[in-house]
Amino acid sequence: MPLKELEARYATKRAQDYKLADGAGLYLLVRPNGSKLWRMKYRFDGKEKLLSLGRYPDLSLAEARLRRAEAKVALGQGRDPGASNKTPAGKTFEEAARAWHENRLSNLDDGHAARLMTRLERDAFPVLGSRPLRAITSADVLAMVRTVEARGALDVSRRIKQHVSQIYRFAIPQGWPIRTRLLTSQTC
């Protein structure tokens, strides 16, 4: 049964993500932090894919249905509707880190959030900040971590390595082009 605007508007947050289906692959994902995101599941070249359409209420139910229709037209023409939204170079590390930080902000204490961003601005952004996510290698991250260790900040080096890993893990479901071997590297 199709989703109604009132159901979308009054969907409340729960302990875990849940979906309100509209049909033909379109659904509203309600996150534990209360955010509501329009998503569309589809198949292209035999693979199941996920298209992020926008945030509710910025994107209404009617607009989400229009975007679903546009995606279906693209699929009918043999094009991947998710591919057109991606830029070849992708996001820089700093853009991804700031998006990750903003996403976590509601769940963090103000002081901890400030310390986390200070760590990134002091240690990670000067080295990795302007580079695209896809261009960063595990050797780059290791060199940055070793620089922090060299000044005697062993706890900070461990934390900054964790932050980099979390940023990449945040970037994967966003569809931002990344170097996946970075996450599994044992050298870091």
Instruction: Give residue-wise pLDDT tens across range 91-150.
Output: 899 999 999 999 998 888 999 999 999 999 999 999 998 888 888 888 899 999 999 999
Last residue of a domain, one of 39, 61, 85: 85
Last residue of a domain, one of 85, 117, 143: 85
Domain of residue 177 covers: 93-184
What pLDDT shows up at residue 58? Answer: 87
CATH number of the structural domain spanning residue 68: 3.30.160.390
Neighbouring CB atoms inside 10 A of 170's CB total 17
Length of the chain in terms of residues written: 188
Q: Are residues 41 and 67 in the same domain?
A: yes
Around 45, how many Cα atoms within 13 Å sit in the side-chain half-sphere?
A: 5
Q: Are residues 115 and 133 in the same domain?
A: yes
DSSP-derived letter for residue 124 is I
Q: Are residues 102 and 155 in the same domain?
A: yes
Instruction: Give residue-wise pLDDT tens across range 11-36.
Output: 898 999 999 999 889 999 999 998 99
Last residue of a domain, one of 85, 111, 140: 85
Q: Are residues 64 and 21 in the same domain?
A: yes
Q: Are residues 113 and 148 in the same domain?
A: yes
Q: Are residues 108 and 35 in the same domain?
A: no
What pLDDT shows up at residue 82? Answer: 82
Instruction: Give residue-wise pLDDT tens across range 47-96.
Output: 899 999 889 988 899 999 999 998 998 888 888 888 754 444 578 999 99
How many helices, marked H, and strands, marked E, lie in the chain? 8, 4
Q: Are residues 69 and 134 in the same domain?
A: no
Domains identified in the chain, total number = 2
What number is the average pLDDT over the span 146-166? 93
Q: Are residues 19 and 70 in the same domain?
A: yes
Q: Are residues 52 and 100 in the same domain?
A: no
67 near 55, Cβ under 8 Å? no
CATH number of the structural domain spanning residue 174: 1.10.150.130
Q: Are residues 111 and 174 in the same domain?
A: yes
Q: How far is CA 105 from CA 33, 36, 101, in A?
A: 10, 16, 6
161 near 86, Cβ under 8 Å? no
Q: Work out the angle at residue 35's Cα, subtended by the Cα atoms of residues 159 and 74, and round it to the nearest 5 degrees.
A: 105
Q: Is 11 left (phi over 0), alpha (psi -120 to 50) or beta?
A: beta
